[in-house]
Amino acid sequence: MVSERIRRLSAAGFGLAELAVTLALVAVVTAVSAPSLVAFWRAATLRAASEELAAAINLGRQLAISRNAPVCIAVVGSDVRFEGTGAGACSGVPLPGVAPVRLASGLVVSAVGASVVFTGLGAASPAGRYAVVSPADSGTRSVVVAASGRVSIQ
């Protein structure tokens, strides 16, 4: 049923020259796009770590509201700890029954200024800023806590 002309074309397959050209094109496209993909991956990792930190800070705010007691947000390396307060500052003692949050990306997080303390009403005293830094390319994003308790990423 199949004509003889179609049968001859399908039996030949691809030639060596056609395969070599195809592989060369794939190699060129890969070499051109690799730096862009790496830059995108680093930026996405930094953005995800900032969002994760903002979520952890919001968890601290919710803990302060639900306990109706001040909660301090202490950042140690890539861990976010929730501590009680003493004399308006972090006490260094973690809240009972609350595990610290470890940022999955492994990026470095540091508090810019004093650590944020959320009041029982959810307000931040003092307002603060946390910096998320990528050691690979020194990219930085800031997580800002306003005095009202609102958390935003810049």
Per-residue pLDDT tens over the stretch 20-60: 999 999 999 999 989 899 889 989 999 999 999 999 999 99
C-alpha dihedral (145, 150, 153, 154), degrees to nearest 10: -70
Phi, psi of 116 (to 5 degrees): -80, 135
Token pair of 1, please? 């049923």
Mean pLDDT of 121-127: 92
What domains appear along the chain, each with residue ranges and CATH number? 17-153 (3.55.40.10)
Phi, psi of 112 (to 5 degrees): -100, 105
